[in-house]
Amino acid sequence: MKETKLWINGQWIQTEKSYSLTAPYSGEEIAKVAKASICDVEKAIEGAHQAFQSFKKTTAYERAEILYKVVDIMRGRKDEFARILAMEAGKPISAGLTEIDRTIATYQFSAEAAKQSMGETVPMDAAPGTKDRIGYTKRVPLGVVSAITPFNFPFNLVAHKLGPAIAVGNTIVLKPATQTPLSALVMAEIFKEAGLPDGVLQIVTGSGGELSDTLVTHPFVKKVTFTGSGEVGLKIKGKVGLRKITLELGSNAAVIVEPSTPIKEIISRCVGGAFAFAGQVCISLQRVYVHESIYEEFTNAFVEETKKLKLGDPLDPATDISAMIHPNEVHRLKQWIDEAKQQGATVATGAEFTERTMTPTVMTNVSPDMKVVCQETFAPIVSLVPYQSLDEAISLVNASDLGLNAGIYTNVLTDAMKAAEELEAGAVVVNDIPTFRVDNMPYGGVKSSGYGREGIKYAIDEMTDLKFITIKTVI
């Protein structure tokens, strides 16, 4: 059994306290994880602040080379990292390998972006009385970035914090989810091997409830980037003051299926988007609005495809879906489904539970105010809802206080453009599921789904300040 330490100022630091980490699928203890104190966090932040004084002076070339080396190291250890995901997150090994490939791409995008951070010239003579001046802008690093990450993509979502921050010369204090610290800690080894100077990356593990105040209010912290629940995100936003902040807070992603859609061509994709990693994805397909003329055909096909999925051990290559992250989640979801059934909903398939798992669940006859519809389930539950007109479908999608990604399937260009303009979401995906994401696109939500944008170029904008410089050429 592994015993972990904190990564502070380029050294592994033992703590007095630890907590037990158990595998979501088997329940076996897999590690004793170091539990940081507030003093440990303060030491990490202060070390990152000190490291920033020299790291901000490194060249774009030097920072890019470090990130390229991270890419090379990770390519040689993909199977190992996928096993870590299977053990600590319960992520099926095939999905874990996909996440590692995306993580590698994220660091590669970051390396490339390090060399592309540019400003612009400003025509100073366009204003009266400003002859003999030139002006230009540049992006400059902020300093210490505090990054708090969730359990569901513990390699790739960490990369979306670390990659852009390092690319532009910031330093980082990372607090990974309590359930998935091992994937974060291994990145300390990788960045050390890649040549990252000591102190640029600090990793503290432990309770977010105990450590978050220090992580977001310490005077040396200049930027907070958080991915997690809306409740926690709102608390963080209330504490950061004038610091920059990015919040990605989840959603209940929806797709509209118009009558022109070839059903057989999209069923497998929709089922995959609904149930990958047991639906524990911020943009997991949760609501499907299907035109009434094809609703019965779509529902039958969707249910049959869902029944083909295999639930089992995440280390088994044949497994499609494994455990929920914690037994408490299974208990919550059983209550939500029972409540929906009491209110008239029907379970078309699924809703079978063990202590740690639930089968992929398709619900019909739902209403907009049911928790399984209006809240984020973060689970393998999808609701199928018929509609009569595109205007009605758009209204149903928008009748939520969440808005991360939304999608529409249609072969009618004008309908696609109407949905693109009217759907209230950070991204609208035409002719694909809202679960679609590549790592260089802007990513973030509207309404209660978040604040700010990720995606390497866009994250860099939010992790830098714009500095203006003007020179009077004649004295």
Do the beta carbons of residue 340 and residue 332 sit within 8 Å?
A: no
Give the list of residues 6+ apart from residue 273 with CB closer than 8 angstroms, or none. 255, 284, 285, 433, 434, 435, 436
Across residues 450-471, what is the average pLDDT?
97
Tokens read off for 446: 């509207």
pLDDT confidence tier of residue 117, bands split at 50, 70 and 90: confident
Burial 169-190 (b: 16+ CB within 10 A, else e): bbbbbbbbbbbbbbbbbbbbeb
For the stretch 74-115, pLDDT in tens is 999 999 999 999 999 999 999 999 999 999 999 999 999 999
pLDDT of residue 475: 86
More confident residue, 142 or 131: 142
Tokens 């003007």 map to which residue? 470
pLDDT confidence tier of residue 232, bands split at 50, 70 and 90: very high
- Which stretch of DSSP H or E encloses residue 461? helix 456-462
Which one of 88, 248, 424, 462 is the catalytic residue? 248
248 is catalytic: yes
User: What pTM, to 2 d.p., does this model score?
Assistant: 0.96
Q: How far from 149 is each of 16, 120, 251, CA to CA, in Å?
A: 24, 33, 16
Which one of 282, 329, 376, 462 is the catalytic residue? 282
Tokens read off for 93: 């090994």
| Helix boundaries (H) for 195-318 | 208-217, 230-237, 263-275, 295-307
- Which stretch of DSSP H or E encloses residue 57? none
Q: How far from 40 is each of 2, 206, 216, CA to CA, in Å?
A: 21, 11, 15
Do the beta carbons of residue 465 and residue 447 sit within 8 Å?
A: no
Burial 29-48 (b: 16+ CB within 10 A, else e): ebbebbbbbeebbbbbbbbb
Cα–chain-centroid distance for residue 303?
28
Across residues 160-173, what is the average pLDDT?
98
Give the list of residues 6+ apart from residue 383 with CB closer than 8 angstroms, or none. 286, 287, 288, 345, 363, 364, 366, 370, 372, 373
Pick from 130, 126, 183, 191: nearest CA to 162: 191
Cα–chain-centroid distance for residue 7?
23
Helices 156-168 and 93-114, packing angle to 10 deg: 10
pLDDT at 1 exceeding the cut of 70: no
Pick from 367, 321, 313, 361: nearest CA to 340: 367
The backbone torsions φ and ψ at residue 20, rounded to the nearest 5 degrees and listed phi first, read -85, 130
- Which stretch of DSSP H or E encloses residue 36? none
Instruction: Detail the DSSP E strand segments found in 111-177.
Output: 121-122, 133-141, 144-148, 171-175
For the stretch 124-133, pLDDT in tens is 999 998 889 9
Residue 310: count of CB within 10 angstroms of its CB? 11
pLDDT at 419 exceeding the cut of 80: yes
Tell the burial category of 341 from Cβ atoms under 10 Å away from its Cβ (0-12, 13-18, 19+): middle
pLDDT of residue 123: 96
Across residues 465-471, what is the average pLDDT?
97
Across residues 367-386, what is the average pLDDT?
97
Pick from 426, 408, 460: nearest CA to 260: 408
Give me the chain's average pLDDT, please: 97
Tokens read off for 249: 């807070």
d(CA 262, CA 265): 6
d(CA 357, CA 342): 22
Do the beta carbons of residue 240 and residue 451 sit within 8 Å?
A: no
220: Cα within 13 Å, side-chain hemisphere = 20
Do the beta carbons of residue 1 and residue 29 sit within 8 Å?
A: yes
Tokens read off for 431: 């002719």
d(CA 439, CA 422): 25
Strands 361-364 and 201-203 turn out to be unpaired
| Helix boundaries (H) for 238-294 | 263-275
The backbone torsions φ and ψ at residue 287, rounded to the nearest 5 degrees and listed phi first, read -125, 130
pLDDT of residue 128: 92
DSSP-derived secondary structure letter, 179: T
28 is catalytic: no
